[in-house]
Amino acid sequence: MNILHDERLDGALPQVDKQGLINALIAALPDLDLLYRTEDLKPYDCDGLSAYRTTPLLVALPHHVDEVQVILRICHQRQVPVVPRGAGTGLSGGALPLAQGVLLVLARLNQIQHIDPNARTARVQPGVRNLAISQAAAPYGLYYAPDPSSQIACSIGGNVAENAGGVHCLKYGLTVHNLVKLEVLTVQGEPLTLGSDALDSPGFDLLALFTGSEGMLGVVTEVTVKLLPRPQVARVLLAAFDCVEKAGRAVADIIAAGIIPGGLEMMDNLAIRAAEDFIHAGYPVEAQAILLCELDGVEADVQEDCERVRQVLEAAGATEVRLARDEAERVRFWAGRKNAFPAVGRLSPDYYCMDGTIARRELPGVLQGIAALSAEYDLRVANVFHAGDGNMHPLILFDANVPGELERAEALGGKILEMCVAVGGSITGEHGVGREKINQMCAQFSAEELTLFHAVKAAFDPSGLLNPGKNIPTLHRCAEFGAMHIHHGQLPFPELERF
C-alpha cells in the first residue's frame, strides 16, 4: 500500500459488482437481513453528524457473530470495503457509509452475556447500549462508569471504537481505562482476543491500541468491561458566574485544590437558556456560565468535599453556589446538562459539534478565542462541555439552507480545533476523528507520526478495506490541505512531489 497517496485511503473506491455481492451474501447467509433498495438504505446515510451523507451500497444487519464473520470473509474475497456501525450516534462521521461499500450494523448483537459480581465485570455483545450495562449490573450494586450523554442509545462497540468519554470520566477514566478484554474479527474474518482476564498480559498492549481505532483495525464482537460499586452518596453543586472566563478559571482551581469530582461540567449562557427552556432544570438563566460539580463517595467525605468546593467556587468569583436539595434536584441538574445538545438543536436548524481538548489552565483563554471567532464568522456558538477534562464541545449554530453557512461553520470549527492544537491540546477528546476532522489531523501530527499510524493500519488491514477514508489522512491529503511543515520549499517526503 502506498501510504503517501492511496486513492482508497482518500475515499476514492473502485466500483463494486452490487448484484454479485448480494447473490454471494444471500447464498452463504439465507437468513441475513440485507438492505439493498434505495428507500431502505436512505435511513443509514449518515451518523449523528448529519452534514455528511452518503447512501451505502448495502446494509447488512447480522444477529450472530458467525454471520459477521461470513460477511467479512465474502467482502474480503471480493475486495469490498466495510464500514462497521453501532447505533450511529457518532458525531464525527466515523460510521459514514461508502457508496461502494457495505455498512455492517452491529446493533442487533445486543445480548448481555454474563455479569460477574465477584470479578466485577460484564461480558456483552457490541450492540448492547451503554446504559443497559449499568441497568443490568444495578441489582448487584454495580455500574459501568463511562457515561456518554448519548448513553441511552449508543452501543458499547461504538464506545470502544471511539474511546468514548462522559461526565464521570474525569474521576473514573475513559472507555480504555474500563475495559478488560475484547473479542474482535479481523478484516479477513479471523478471530482475535485482545487483553485478558488477568490484570496484565505480555506482548504489546493491543487492547489499548484497538480502543479508539474507529472501526479501522477490526470489528468488535464482544466486550468485557469493568464494573464499579455504586458510590454511597452523590451530591451536586451548581455555581453561577457572571463571566465565562471566571468559570473556566474555577475549574482549574478545584482540581488544584486536590479534589477530583465525579463530574465537573460547564455550560455558557446560550446553552443554559436552551437547556432550561427544554428541561426546566432550574438553572439561573441570567448567568453567563454555570459549573455543575458532582462529589461522590462516602457521606462524611462528600460533605467535607462539598464545603471545600463551595469555598473554591466563591473565591473564584461565583455569584451563586447551590447544593442540590435532594436526589430529584440532582437528577434534574444533570438532565439539563445531558440534554443540552438536543436543547441547543432547538435554537437553530443545524448545529455542528466540535470536540477539542486542552489543558484546564487554557480554558479561559480558549473560551475568549472562541467568542472572538464566533463574532468574526458571524455564527452563534454555544459551549457545553466536560470542563474537568478540558474537553470542549463548542456547538456552532448554522442553517445549511442558507448558502455558504455550512462552509462558514466548517471553517470556524477548523479554526477552533487549530487553536486547541496551538495551546498544546488535541483535535478530539472523545468523538473521534472520523471523516469530519481528518484534515485537522494534519495539523496535529507530523508526517512521521502519520506514517506510523498507516503502518499500524496496514498491519491489521493490509488492503485498506475497513472504514477507508476516515481517521488517518494520507500525506498527500495533508500536503493539499497545506498543513504539512515544508522545509526550504520541499515537502517532508520527496515522493509527494510526484502527485
Which is closer to ligand FAD, CB of 223 or CB of 318? 223
Q: Are 99 and 81 in contact (CB under 8 A)?
A: no
CB of 381 to ligand FAD, least distance (A): 17
CB of 348 to ligand FAD, least distance (A): 15
CB of 469 to ligand FAD, least distance (A): 11
Q: What is the binding site for ligand FAD (CB under 6 A)?
A: 47-48, 83-91, 94-95, 106, 126, 148-150, 154-155, 157-159, 161-162, 164-166, 214-215, 219-220, 341, 430-431, 467
CB of 177 to ligand FAD, least distance (A): 13
CB of 328 to ligand FAD, least distance (A): 23
CB of 427 to ligand FAD, least distance (A): 14
Which is closer to ligand FAD, CB of 234 or CB of 491? 234
> Which of 380, 252, 278, 260 lies closest to 337 in space, CA to CA?
278
CB of 121 to ligand FAD, least distance (A): 19
Phi, psi of 289 (to 5 degrees): -155, 150
- Closest residue to bound ligand FAD by CB: 158
Separation between Cα atoms, residue 439 and residue 372, nearest integer Å: 23
Sheet holding 233-241, edge to edge: 320-323, 233-241, 289-297, 263-268, 381-385, 394-398, 350-353
Which is closer to ligand FAD, CB of 56 or CB of 88? 88
Q: Are 244 and 268 in contact (CB under 8 A)?
A: yes
Which is closer to ligand FAD, CB of 306 or CB of 388? 388
Q: Are 190 and 259 in contact (CB under 8 A)?
A: no
Identity of the amino acid at 351: Y
Which is closer to ligand FAD, CB of 48 or CB of 468? 48
Which is closer to ligand FAD, CB of 100 or CB of 155? 155
Q: Is 418 exposed, middle or buried (0-12, 13-18, 19+ CB in 10 A)?
A: middle
Q: Under DSSP, is residue 392 helix (H, G, I), strand (E, B) or coil?
A: strand
Which is closer to ligand FAD, CB of 246 or CB of 393? 393
H helical segments located in 393-446: 405-422, 438-444
